[in-house]
C-alpha cells in the first residue's frame, strides 16, 4: 500500500492523500488507513479520482450505510436531475441539466450551504462522513471551507467548557433556512413533519480519539431549557469562535477532487461563485452515523 497523507495546515487539520485510486476495489488495510486519516485530520483531500455515481457509491459503502439525499426529500422529482437517491445533487443544474435561474426555488434553498453547518444534523441519527466529488468546477470561486470543531473545543476556556458540557440543542432544516429568509410554510404541509426539530449534544465525545468537539450547525435553533434568544446568542458566539482562521482549511477545487469530511468533528460552508453563468457540478454521498447523540428519553422530552 503506497497511500500517504500530507497535512494541509500547520495544526494538522485536513490532509492531502496520494498514492491511491479510489475508483477501484480497496483492500481492508486501505480502508483502515483512510478511516485513521479521517480520525487524525477530520478532512481528507484526494486528487484525480474520476468517479461515476456508481463507483462513488461503491467506494462510499466501505465506510457505512449511505443516507438518502435530503434534497430529494424536500423537493419533487420533477425539480431535480434523475440521480440515484443516495446521490445528493450539489450542482446548479435543473432537471433538464440547464443552469438554474435566479429565482429557482431549489437554487435559493441550496444557498443555505453557504452557512456554516454539519450535514444532516437535522436528523436524529446525523451523518458520519460526507464525500464530495467535483465533476465540473466553475472558472472562479466556489471553494469549500472546513472548520475544526475539536481544536475549537480545546481552545475554549475552562469555565465555558463546564457551562456547556451537558447542553442539548435543537436542529431543524427550518432553522437554517429561516436565516436566509424562508418560512416554514414555504415547505408545504406535506413536509412539515420533516422539519420537526431533533436534539443533539452540543459537546460530543469521540471514543476513537478520546477527544471532544463542538457540535455546531446552522440547523440549530434553540438550546433546550434556555430562552430562545439566549440559546441562539450562545450558538452564534460559539460559531464565531469556531470559524476563526486558525481553525479553518479552505479547499480550492480541481476537477476530479474527492473531499471527505467528518460531520461529527467539523463544520463546512460553500463560498460564492457565478452560479447563474458558470456550471458547478458536485455530487455528494453521505454515510449514516452510528446512533443518536442524546438518549431517546431526552429526544422525546
Ligand atoms: C455539501 C456542501 C459545500 C459546497 O455538499 O454538503 O455543503 O461547497 N457543499 O458545495
Ligand atoms: Mn453540507
Distance between CA atoms of 221 and 233, rounded to whole angstroms?
10
Low-confidence ranges of the chain (pLDDT < 50): none
The owner of cell 468533528 is 265
Distance between CA atoms of 99 and 107, rounded to whole angstroms?
10
Note the pLDDT of residue 193.
84
Note the pLDDT of residue 296.
55
Note the pLDDT of residue 187.
81
User: Ligand 1 mean position to 262 CA, how many Å?
Assistant: 13
Neighbouring CB atoms inside 10 A of 2's CB total 7
Residue of minimum CA distance from atom 2 in ligand 1: 113
Ligand 1 within 6 A of CB of 127? no
Note the pLDDT of residue 1.
67
The number of the ligand 1 atom at minimal distance from the alpha carbon of 280 is: 10
Note the pLDDT of residue 219.
97
Note the pLDDT of residue 6.
98
Note the pLDDT of residue 286.
98
- Strand bridging mode 4-7 / 15-18: antiparallel
User: Ligand 1 mean position to 144 CA, how many Å?
Assistant: 7
Of 250, 282, 285, 286, the one to substitute when testing ligand 1's pocket (max ligand atoms within 8 A of C-beta) is 282
Q: Which CATH architecture has domain 4-288?
A: 4-Layer Sandwich (3.60)
Note the pLDDT of residue 69.
85
Q: Which residues surround ligand 2, an ion (CB under 5 A)?
A: 119
Residue of minimum CA distance from atom 6 in ligand 1: 119
User: Ligand 2 mean position to 158 CA, how many Å?
Assistant: 30
- Strand bridging mode 258-262 / 43-46: antiparallel
Amino acid at each position: 500500500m503506497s497511500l500517504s497523507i500530507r497535512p494541509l495546515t500547520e495544526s494538522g487539520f485536513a490532509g492531502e492523500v496520494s498514492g491511491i485510486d479510489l475508483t477501484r476495489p480497496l483492500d481492508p488495510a486501505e480502508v483502515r488507513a483512510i478511516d485513521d486519516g479521517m480520525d487524525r485530520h477530520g478532512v481528507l483531500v484526494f486528487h484525480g479520482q474520476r468517479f461515476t455515481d456508481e463507483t462513488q457509491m461503491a467506494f462510499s459503502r466501505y465506510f457505512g450505510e449511505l443516507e438518502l439525499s435530503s434534497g430529494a426529500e424536500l423537493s419533487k422529482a420533477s425539480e431535480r436531475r434523475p440521480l440515484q437517491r443516495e446521490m445528493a445533487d450539489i450542482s446548479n443544474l435543473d432537471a433538464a441539466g440547464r443552469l438554474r435561474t435566479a429565482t429557482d426555488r431549489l437554487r435559493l434553498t441550496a444557498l443555505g450551504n453557504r452557512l456554516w453547518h454539519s450535514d444532516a444534523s437535522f436528523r436524529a441519527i446525523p451523518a458520519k462522513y460526507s464525500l464530495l466529488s467535483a465533476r465540473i468546477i466553475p472558472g472562479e470561486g466556489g471553494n469549500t471551507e472546513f472548520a475544526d470543531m475539536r481544536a475549537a473545543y480545546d481552545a475554549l476556556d475552562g469555565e465555558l467548557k463546564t457551562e456547556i458540557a451537558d447542553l442539548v440543542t435543537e436542529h431543524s432544516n427550518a432553522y437554517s433556512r429561516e436565516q436566509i429568509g424562508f418560512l416554514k410554510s414555504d415547505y408545504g404541509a406535506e413536509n412539515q413533519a420533516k422539519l420537526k426539530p431533533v436534539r443533539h449534544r452540543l459537546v460530543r465525545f469521540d471514543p476513537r480519539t478520546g477527544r471532544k468537539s463542538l457540535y455546531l450547525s446552522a440547523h440549530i435553533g434553540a438550546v433546550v431549557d434556555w430562552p430562545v434568544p439566549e440559546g441562539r446568542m450562545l450558538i452564534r458566539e460559539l460559531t464565531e469562535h469556531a470559524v476563526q482562521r486558525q481553525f479553518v482549511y479552505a479547499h480550492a477545487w480541481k476537477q476530479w477532487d474527492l473531499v471527505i469530511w467528518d460531520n461529527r468533528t467539523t463544520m463546512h460552508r460553500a463560498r460564492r461563485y457565478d452560479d447563474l453563468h458558470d456550471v458547478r457540478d458536485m455530487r455528494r454521498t453521505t454515510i449514516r452515523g452510528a446512533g443518536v447523540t442524546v438518549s431517546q428519553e431526552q429526544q422525546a422530552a
